[in-house]
């Protein structure tokens, strides 16, 4: 009997991954057949990477619309089918095949020429976009995230590479990322690199960062053009360069792209500014990985005259190794840190917060040690945490609330509960600061 149990366990261990993989492949094939293979009627642009997917996808769609194209977009934040907008309340960036292909069919029926999709490593590994060969494949970056699923960074990268394995018409790769060479090795009809690296095909010069905007000159194979981007941060310049590369690949003139990027108002919950008459800045952002969080802090620290106040947490049932790293980053860059609850799912919320908070004093500079109860706090109630940050902020300070961005709910052990960082921050500010 003992030998039988061992044999059964070995069979499950060796065969189950293949069975699961086959199941996912079958779902993709069935969904494509069920909805009449709508991908074949669309010019599909797929964007993958740890960070920047939503903003880059939305920029690309804005450029295409400015050029007179009908576009559908599927992002973490929302779905757009031509002019129709549908909130994405699934907590999934790339839908399961049955939903994905249904949305693509709706785009075809709406007369869309292009579909712009965010594609995650989970979706690629689970064959959710099976049957879709992108016209343009875009790689933004690869940083510490999702190691609970992929186990190693190499496996994470291997999943991302799957998007580029079927010889896309155009491959667009961020030359600043250390993993870029892996993506450039894969064949494509044409390759475009972008970034701040001197050898990049599309790069930025004369970058001038302001509190709420960034000015730069885009240098491309088809000319140079000055752009006044109405969203802050070098990472958003990088996103814009990636979007420009897609536009160039699709033959869209630079003046059209310039106008599109200069009228791009950002994505809700991505570096979104909340104004209600207060004498300090309040920004809500979706950053939920160490790299994204660091880039936010590096953008805000130089432009903040007073203190940088950070409200952050970490999601349950996700890569636990990044929790103290995120706390350490907050301890390094922020003057006041409030660790709070954030999508605990079915984990113990206090345990998650403690894991994040443990990193705060470790990351703090020696000259500015962080002491709990003075420089950093654990406040379990997220609304109270946000209110604590806002009521303690003074003129010239910047409050950055990260983790949920433009989401409209929180995942708890009891299920989804309504939640909106933007509206909660706004209501607290309006209570304390009368407009005008």
- Distance in Å from the first CA to the final CA of the chain: 79
pLDDT attached to residue 145: 59
Residues with Cβ < 8 Å from 347, sequence gap 6 or more?
316, 317
pLDDT, residue 3, reads 44
CB 179 within 8 A of CB 155: no
Alpha-carbon 298 to chain mean position? 17
Tell me how far apart the alpha carbons of residues 363 and 186 are, in angstroms, rounded to a whole number.
39
| pTM for the full predicted model | 0.88
Contact between 51 and 143 under an 8 Å Cβ cutoff? The reply is yes
- Alpha-carbon distance of 1 to 77, in angstroms, equals 52
Which 8-state DSSP code applies to residue 164? Answer: G
Which contiguous run of DSSP H or E holds residue 140?
none
Structural domains of the chain, ranges and CATH numbers in brackets: 32-199 (3.40.1190.10), 272-431 (3.90.190.20)
Tell me which residue has tokens 């300090």. Answer: 280
E strand or H helix at 335? none
pLDDT, tens digit, for every residue of 134-177?
Answer: 999 999 999 865 555 556 888 889 989 999 998 999 999 999 99
Residue 429 main-chain phi, psi, to 5 deg: -65, -45
The token pair that represents 43 in the structure block = 């010019």
With vertex at residue 132, the alpha carbon angle to CA 17 and CA 56, rounded to the nearest 5 degrees, is: 100
Give Rg (Cα) of the chain.
22
- Residue 21 has a pLDDT of 56
Residue 359: closest CA among 341, 344, 339, 379: 339
The predicted-structure confidence for 226-237, as pLDDT tens digits, reads as follows 999 999 999 999
pLDDT average per 10 residues of sequence, the chain (436 residues): 45 51 68 86 95 95 98 94 90 82 96 96 84 94 66 85 94 96 95 96 94 93 97 95 98 98 94 94 94 94 95 92 96 98 95 98 94 97 98 97 94 93 97 71
CA 436 to CA 421: how far, in whole Å? 23
Tokens of 103: 């949305």
What secondary structure does DSSP assign to 342-393, as a single string? ---TTS-HHHHHHHHHHHHHHHS-GGG---BTTTEEE-SSHHHHHHHHHHH-
Which DSSP category does 434 fall into? -
Map tokens 């885009």 to a residue. 218
Inter-residue contact 328 to 321 (CB < 8 Å): no
Q: How long a stretch of residues is the chain?
A: 436
């Amino acid at each position: 009997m003992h030998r039988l149990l061992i044999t059964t366990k070995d069979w499950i261990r060796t065969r189950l991954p293949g069975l699961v993989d086959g199941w996912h492949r079958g779902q993709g094939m069935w969904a494509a057949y069920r909805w009449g293979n709508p991908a074949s009627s669309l010019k599909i642009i797929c964007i993958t990477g740890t960070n920047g997917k939503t903003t880059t996808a939305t920029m690309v769609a804005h450029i295409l619309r400015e050029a007179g194209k009908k576009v559908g977009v599927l992002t973490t934040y929302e779905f757009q089918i031509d002019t129709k907008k549908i909130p994405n309340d699934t907590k999934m960036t790339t839908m399961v095949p049955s939903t994905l292909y249904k949305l693509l069919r709706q785009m075809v029926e709406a007369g869309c020429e292009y579909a712009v999709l965010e594609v995650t490593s989970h979706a690629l590994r689970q064959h959710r976009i099976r049957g879709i060969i992108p016209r343009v494949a875009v790689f933004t970056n690869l940083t510490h995230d999702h190691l609970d699923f992929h186990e190693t960074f190499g496996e994470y990268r291997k999943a991302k590479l799957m998007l580029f394995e079927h010889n896309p018409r155009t491959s667009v790769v961020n030359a600043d990322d250390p993993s870029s060479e892996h993506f450039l090795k894969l064949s494509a009809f044409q390759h475009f690199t972008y970034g701040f690296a001197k050898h990049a095909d599309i790069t930025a010069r004369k970058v001038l960062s302001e509190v709420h905007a960034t000015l730069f000159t885009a240098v491309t194979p088809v000319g140079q053009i000055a752009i006044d981007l109405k969203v802050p941060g070098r990472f958003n310049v990088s996103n814009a360069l990636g979007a420009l590369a897609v536009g160039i690949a699709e033959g869209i003139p630079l003046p059209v792209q310039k106008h599109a990027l200069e009228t791009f108002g950002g994505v809700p919950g991505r570096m979104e500014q909340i104004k209600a008459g207060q004498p300090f800045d309040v920004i809500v952002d979706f950053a939920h990985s160490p790299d994204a969080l660091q880039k936010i802090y590096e953008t805000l620290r130089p432009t903040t005259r007073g203190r940088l106040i950070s409200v952050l947490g970490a999601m349950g049932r996700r890569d636990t190794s990044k929790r103290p790293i995120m706390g350490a980053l907050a301890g390094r860059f922020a003057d006041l840190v409030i660790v709070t609850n954030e999508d605990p799912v079915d984990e113990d919320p206090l345990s998650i917060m403690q894991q994040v908070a443990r990193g705060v004093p470790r990351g703090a500079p020696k000259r500015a040690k962080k002491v709990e109860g003075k420089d950093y706090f654990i406040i379990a109630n997220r609304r109270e945490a946000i209110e604590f940050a806002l009521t303690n902020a003074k003129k010239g300070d910047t409050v950055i609330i990260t983790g949920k961005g433009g989401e409209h709910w929180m995942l708890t052990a009891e299920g989804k509960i309504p939640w909106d960082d933007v509206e909660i921050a706004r209501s607290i500010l309006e209570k304390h600061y009368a407009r005008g």
